[in-house]
Amino acid sequence: MKVALVHYWLVSMRGGEKVLEELCQLFPQADIFTHVYDPEAISPIIRRHRIRTTFVDKLPFAKKLYRHYLPLMPMALEQLDLRDYDLVISSESGPAKGVLTHPDALHVCYCHTPMRYLWKMYLDYKGSVNPLLRPLMVWLTGSLRQWDQHSANRVDMFVANSESTRRQIKKYYGRDALVVFPPVDINAFQPSERNPGDFYLYVGQLVKYKRADLAIQACNHLQRNLVIIGEGEEYKSLRSMAGPTIRFLGRQGFDTLREHYLSCRALLFPGEEDFGIVPLEAMATGKPVLAFGQGGALETVVQSETGILFHEQTPECLSQAILHFENVEHLFDPVAISRHAGQFSRATFQLRMGEVLKDAMSNPSRLASTRGRLQESALAAAPSDILSGKRLNGA
């Protein structure tokens, strides 16, 4: 059986690329298709595969300005030749699901989120655009939104990374979806018996919707130490508002990140994410998370057991959450917090995703006349093969 993995762009290793890594482990023979590819920014697991790009990769400064080429990506996807592939798995956050597949192929879309700039956060992005360019943006996003809805019909099955994403898929595309939580490398973040340090931690891109400004303002007000790990377009404005207790470390490697998880009092997570892997990395080290109580945090943070949820995105509400945490900090059990995070492991993702794909391939209403051909493939092995850990398209 031939398998194609379609990912929106490969220019960094974030949550979506971690999912792609696990799909690469499940399908070691699969080919990867993407708009833009920067080999130096991608893990060896992904680089081992044959990677093909759309024409967007050849446009000027594509590795840096790829988002500016978004209006061209639908057309670019439709130029990809996937006729020979039996199974196509698209990884959707930017344009990926709109590929044209063979009528007999099964197309499964793992959706991290419907494109934020077209749907959930459209007005936020619109407000950030130069007023002179705003009419052009409105016209372009309107066309892209129509294409995005239309291309959802090309998908045979949607898999969402959270209940929050599942609801968005239903609202924007009118499609049902199964939920398979994304993989977290739990084993890389073990709890420690050391006493916590005297600082709170923020980890993530410094972009508006992640709301690092709330963490800075709250810690400024309370005179609490805050370490920020990450980089992004908001760096200068955030640095200008930071007081003497705020420290910026920029982008850091894994060892430094893990050390700060282990040393902090708690992680501050003031943005709304569709899932959010960072809180689970912190919890895997036994650290509580103070998170805004919307989106994926509702599915990963257990109130008063693994963290504290605050319900308004204001500095005042986050400050109150910090003060409340400090009153009950001694009640949090690092071992119990780490055990909770273990439910979201890489092994759990591979097992669950394998079961979903097996069920999809054996469902007559999805396969129709192709069922016989696909049942001869390795993916049609007995369910026990998946449960025993055999790769889905291994030898």
Give 170-212 pLDDT, tens digit per residue.
999 999 999 999 998 888 888 877 778 899 999 998 988 899 9
Give 306-361 pLDDT, tens digit per residue.
999 999 999 999 999 999 999 999 999 999 999 999 999 999 999 999 999 988 88
Other CB atoms within 10 Å distance of the CB of residue 134? 13
What number does CATH give the domain 3-183+346-387?
3.40.50
Which one, of 190, 191, 185, 188, lies nearest residue 348 by Cα? Answer: 185
* CA atoms of 10 and 32, how far apart (whole Å): 10
Which one, of 3, 13, 18, lies nearest residue 37 by Cα? Answer: 13
The pLDDT of residue 308 is 96
In three-state secondary structure terms, 363 is coil
Q: List the Cα angle 175/32/389 in 5-degree steps.
A: 80
* H/E segment holding residue 31: strand 31-34
| Cβ contact 61:35 at 8 Å | no
Q: Which residues contact 224 (CB under 8 A, 6 or more apart)?
A: 199, 200, 218, 245, 322
| Cβ contact 276:297 at 8 Å | yes
DSSP class of residue 10? B
| Cβ contact 157:109 at 8 Å | yes
Q: Which residues contact 171 (CB under 8 A, 6 or more apart)?
A: none
Q: Tell me the mean pLDDT in the region 136-163.
A: 89
Give 157-181 pLDDT, tens digit per residue.
999 999 999 999 999 999 999 999 9
Given a cut of 50, whether residue 134 has pLDDT beyond it is yes
The pLDDT of residue 67 is 87
Kindly write down the DSSP assignment for every residue of 243-299, as one continuous string.
-TTEEEEES--HHHHHHHHHHSS-EEE-S--SS-SHHHHHHHTT--EEEESSTTHHH
Q: How confident is the model at residue 46 (pLDDT cuts 50, 70, 90)?
A: very high
Beta bridge partners of 303: 307
The pLDDT of residue 289 is 97
* CA atoms of 357 and 377, how far apart (whole Å): 13
Fold agreement (3-183+346-387, 187-343) = yes
Give 235-255 pLDDT, tens digit per residue.
999 999 999 999 999 989 889
* CA torsion through residues 30, 169, 375, 83, sign: negative
| Cβ contact 28:391 at 8 Å | yes
Unique residue bearing structure tokens 């209940």: 163
* CA atoms of 317 and 73, how far apart (whole Å): 40
DSSP class of residue 207? -
Tokens encoding 371:
């069922």
Distance of CA 292 to the CA centre of its chain: 17
For residues 391 and 250, the model is more confident at: 250
Q: Can you name the CATH fold of 187-343?
A: Rossmann fold (3.40.50)
| Cβ contact 373:386 at 8 Å | no
Q: How confident is the model at residue 73 (pLDDT cuts 50, 70, 90)?
A: very high
- Domain boundaries in the chain? 3-183+346-387, 187-343
Maximum C-alpha span of the chain:
67
322-351 in b/e form (b: 16+ CB < 10 A) is beebeeeeeebebeebbbbbeebbbebbbe
The pLDDT of residue 122 is 66
